[in-house]
């Protein structure tokens, strides 16, 4: 019999229990892996690479306190106005958009490769009519500094407070991008979030190493 690993996120929000079944034997261990503070640039390469692969998970919370999660494939980490900033681009049609307008804070979470199916789900259905945390088996956990939660199963976390927002200006955009990205309008709003906390699993480097190995490949012919 192979090794079966199941995680029951409903039991322990901060330290999920893992059940291992090996050759008919079952035992449990508490996942004690702590999340440690990092420099916001520490996993830059890995975060950008994961964003270009499956996407990252953007978590927001409305004035009603309800959290929502959606997948993002576009964004940037950098230094603006002398501050660490994570920029996310959100179309007005997203449920996430109204949440960001109500509560000017968000978290960005870097998923490990094995969460690919859940990340896809969060990018294809809306929080208006789905509880994506439940459907994608993701565990919301209280953030350190902001109201929207982080996602326990992710590996790197950025907590952000919005400093500035700005809509894509059709008149200032090259035609090729207008044609590719905005045939239906729905122009993104850019949210510039100051990174007020950044932390990661202790084994983040290992868990994201497969992602980093393929980072920024040369264009194929
Ligand atoms: C890989 C991937 C990347 C995506 N990137 C973005 C993005 O950067 N900005 C955006 O507005 N929508 C993006 N989407 C679409 C939203 O994730 C999707 O519309 C989602 O269902 C919106 O959820 P919500 O209505 O709960 O906010 C992406 C979807 C996928 C699958």
Contact 99, 147 (CB under 8 A): no
pLDDT in tens, 192-218: 999 999 999 999 999 888 665 665 555
Ligand 1 centroid to residue 51 C-alpha, Å: 12
Ligand 1 centroid to residue 107 C-alpha, Å: 15
Could you tell me how many residues make up the chain? 221
The answer on pLDDT for 141 being more than 60 is yes
Among protein residues, the one whose CA lies closest to atom 5 of ligand 1:
72
The domain defined by 33-212 carries CATH number 2.30.110.10 = yes
Contact 157, 47 (CB under 8 A): no
If you average pLDDT over residues 131-150, what whole number do you get? 98
Domain boundaries, the chain: 1-32, 33-212
45 vs 78: CA distance, rounded Å: 12
pLDDT in tens, 88-107: 999 999 999 999 999 999 99
Among protein residues, the one whose CA lies closest to atom 18 of ligand 1:
123
Contact 107, 158 (CB under 8 A): yes
Among protein residues, the one whose CA lies closest to atom 9 of ligand 1:
90
- Which atom of ligand 1 is the closest one to the Cα of 88? 8
Contact 123, 51 (CB under 8 A): no
């Amino acid at each position: 019999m192979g090794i079966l690993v199941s995680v029951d996120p409903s039991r322990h929000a901060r330290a999920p229990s893992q059940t291992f079944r090996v050759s008919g034997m079952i035992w449990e261990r508490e996942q004690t892996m702590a999340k440690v503070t990092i420099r916001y640039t520490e996993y830059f390469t890995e975060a950008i690479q994961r964003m270009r692969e499956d996407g990252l998970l953007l978590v927001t919370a409305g004035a009603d306190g309800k959290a929502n999660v959606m997948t993002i494939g576009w964004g940037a980490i950098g230094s603006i106005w002398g501050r660490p900033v994570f920029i996310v681009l959100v179309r007005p049609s997203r449920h996430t958009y109204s949440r960001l307008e109500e509560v000017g804070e968000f978290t960005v979470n870097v998923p490990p490769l094995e969460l690919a199916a859940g990340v896809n789900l969060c990018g294809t259905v809306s929080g208006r009519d789905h509880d994506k945390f439940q459907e994608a088996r993701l565990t919301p956990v209280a953030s350190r500094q902001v109201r929207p939660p982080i996602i326990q199963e992710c590996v790197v976390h950025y907590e952000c407070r919005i400093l500035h927002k700005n809509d894509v200006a059709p008149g200032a955009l090259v035609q090729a991008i207008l044609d590719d990205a905005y045939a239906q309008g729905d122009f993104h709003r850019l949210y510039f979030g100051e990174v007020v906390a950044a932390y990661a699993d202790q084994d983040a480097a290992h868990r994201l190493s497969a992602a980093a190995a393929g980072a920024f490949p040369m264009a194929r012919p």
